[in-house]
Structure 1
Amino acid sequence: MRLRTAAEYQPGGGSSISFGELAEGALEQITGPVPSPDLLIVAHGLGDSYPSQSVSARLDHLLGGGARNFAVSEQGIRAPFKALRIARGYTSSGRCEELALVVVEQTSGGPPKPASSVFLLFGGTGGLQLTSLATTAPGRPVDLAGLPDRALLVAGHGIDPAVLADCGLDVHEAAPGSQSSSVWRELATHYEAWARAYDAVVLCDTDTDTGHSEIAVFRSRMPSRQQW
C-alpha cells in the first residue's frame, strides 16, 4: 500500500484539547476529497485525558462510515508502528485496500510537549510504498543494511546519536516538540518531496523507556519482488 495523502496539525493555545479534536483538526488539513477507508486506526502513546467519545468511530462517521475502526494505545512511540503491523495483516488477508492512520498526541509534562496530530491515508497510487517494518530489541544495534544508496533516515528524538553518525545515509532529525507523532509529522509534511528526491525513506525511533527501536521503510522505486 502506498501513502496517498497526509497532513499534520498542531493547534495553538492551551493544552485542553481532546484526541477527537486533534484527529478532526488533522483531517481538516487534507486538501481535496478523501476516499472512505475500509480500515481506520487511531494511534496514541498514552490514554486520552478527555475520553468523552470513541475517536475512531467519530472519524469513521466523518469519512462516510463502514470502516473497521479501533485504536492502538499505551505503546509510547511504538503505537503508530504497531498500528501499521496490524494493517498489514488486514491487507495480506484482502480485508484492507484503503487505510486511514491517525496519530494523536496531547500535551505532556516535564518538559511539556505541545499537542499534535497526523492523518495518513494509504491506498491506490502514491509516492511512497511501505515495504517493511522491524523492531530492534533493547541493547541491540539498529540494522539499516540493505537500503539503496539514495535513502533518507528520519530520526526521532529517542534514537542513539551513534546510529545517526554511523548510518551512512542522509539524516533528517524530527523537530522538537513531540514524541509519538514526531517522525510521522515529518513524513506528512515532506513525503512528496522525499518521494522525488530519494529511493527510500526510513522512519526510525527508540522508546527511551523500554529501549525498543522501531523502523518503517518506505520506497519510492520498488524492486519487482518486493511488496507491502
Structure 2
Amino acid sequence: MAGSTLAVRQGAAVLAPPRTVRPEFSIMAEYDRDLLTSFGQSPDAAAAGDRPVVTHADLVQHLLDGDPLGTVEPDLVMVSYALPDVHPFTTTSTQLNRVFGNRASSFSIAEQGLAAPFSALRVAAAYCRLGHCDQAVLAVLEQSTLPNHDPLVDGADLVDSGALLLLQSGHEGPGLNVHDVWTQTGPADCARRLAEVTAPDRSGTALVVEGPRGGHDTLPDGVEVHRHTERTYCTSVWLELAQNPQWAEQYATVVLHDTDPRSGTCSAAVLHGAAHPEPSP
C-alpha cells in the first residue's frame, strides 16, 4: 500500500448518545431466541423487554448533526462494525449513501472484530489507487445492546459510539495520508513493524495511538503514545483520529494500533502528516 494518495481529511465522533425505547423491536425477540439457541446460547432475559437502544442508523444521524463534512459527493461509502446492529435487517451503508446523493458504491465491512475499520481503510486506498474513488466516507459504528451475554461487551461495560471520516485522494489540503495498513496475528511481529515505521522519527514527530487493549513496550525512544481510555471496542482509535485533526500538522507519522481481545490479532494503520519528508524522485 505504500505510495497511496488517500488522505483522512475531516471527521466527527459521538460517544454515549441518548438511547430511545423502540417497542417495534419486540418483533426481534423470537428471531434472537431462534438464532441463539441454534448455537447453544440463551437469550438475555432483559433483552426481551423494552430497553432503550441506539441503532446504527441513530449513530449515523448523530454523526451527521451539524454537517461536519460539508458538501461531499463521495464515490464510496462504507460502514464498519464489530458488534451487530440492534435490528440486523437494516442496511445502514445504503442509508448513509442516500444522505450524500446516492451516487456512491456502498457496503458494510464486519465479522472481523476491531480489524473491520482497518480493512475498510485498506479497501478505500485500493479504490483510490485504481482511480475509482476521489472521495470516500467511512463510518465506524458500535452499539452495545446485545440479546445475549457477551463477556467482552458486559465485562468492559461498553458504551455506544461512532466515528465518521472523510477520505480523499490527492496530497492537496490538510490531512493524514494513508501509507500502510496491516493486521498481524503475532504480537511480536506487530511490535517489530511498529518499531520499524516509527524508528525514523525519533525527534518527537511520531505518534502511536493505542486502543484500550493495544500496547507494545518495544517502541523506539522518543515516540509519543496517546491511549484511548473510553469504554469502546472497535471505534477506539477512530474516535481519537476524528477528534484530533491537528495531528496532521503536528506529526510526521501517526500510527493507529489496537489488539483484539477475542483473537489477539493486532491491527495498525500508518498515516503520514505534513511533517513527513517527501519521498525522493
Normalising by structure 1, we get a TM-score of: 0.90
- Any gaps of 5 or more consecutive residues in structure 2? 1-5, 20-51, 145-152
Residue 218 (structure 1) aligns with: 271
Aligned match for 1:140, one of 179, 185, 188: 188
Q: How does 1:54-203 map to 2 (within 5 A)?
A: 54-107=91-144, 108-123=153-168, 125-141=173-189, 142=191, 143-144=193-194, 145-147=196-198, 148-149=201-202, 150-160=205-215, 163-164=216-217, 166-168=219-221, 169-190=223-244, 192-203=245-256
Bigger CA drift: 60-69 or 23-32? 23-32
Post-superposition offset of 1:44: 0.1
Q: Deviations over 1:4-32 (max 9, x none)?
A: 11000124344501111111211225436
User: Identity of aligned pairs, percent?
Assistant: 30
Larger radius of gyration between Structure 1 and Structure 2: 2
Bigger CA drift: 50-59 or 198-207? 50-59
Aligned match for 1:44, one of 57, 60, 81: 81
Residue 206 (structure 1) aligns with: 259
Instruction: Give the total of aligned pairs.
Output: 223
Residue 12 (structure 1) aligns with: 17
Whether 2:61 is the aligned partner of 1:21: answer: no
Distance (Å, rounded) in 2 between the aligned partners of 1:16 and 1:86: 30
Post-superposition offset of 1:183: 0.4
Letter in 1 for 2:214: I
Post-superposition offset of 1:60: 0.6
Post-superposition offset of 1:38: 0.3
Letter in 2 for 1:6: G
Q: Deviations over 1:16-55 (max 9, x none)?
A: 0111111121122543623111001100012212224210
Q: Is the 8 A contact 2:75 2:104 kept in 1?
A: yes
Q: Is the helix fraction higher in 1 or 2?
A: 2
SS at match of 1:110: helix
Distance (Å, rounded) in 2 between the aligned partners of 1:46 and 1:55: 14
SS at match of 1:205: strand
Distance (Å, rounded) in 2 between the aligned partners of 1:78 and 1:215: 9
- Any gaps of 5 or more consecutive residues in structure 1? none
Post-superposition offset of 1:67: 0.4
Distance (Å, rounded) in 1 between the aligned partners of 2:128 and 2:229: 32
The change in CA–CA distance for 1:29 and 1:129 in structure 2 (over 3 A counts) is farther
CA RMSD of aligned residues (A): 1.9
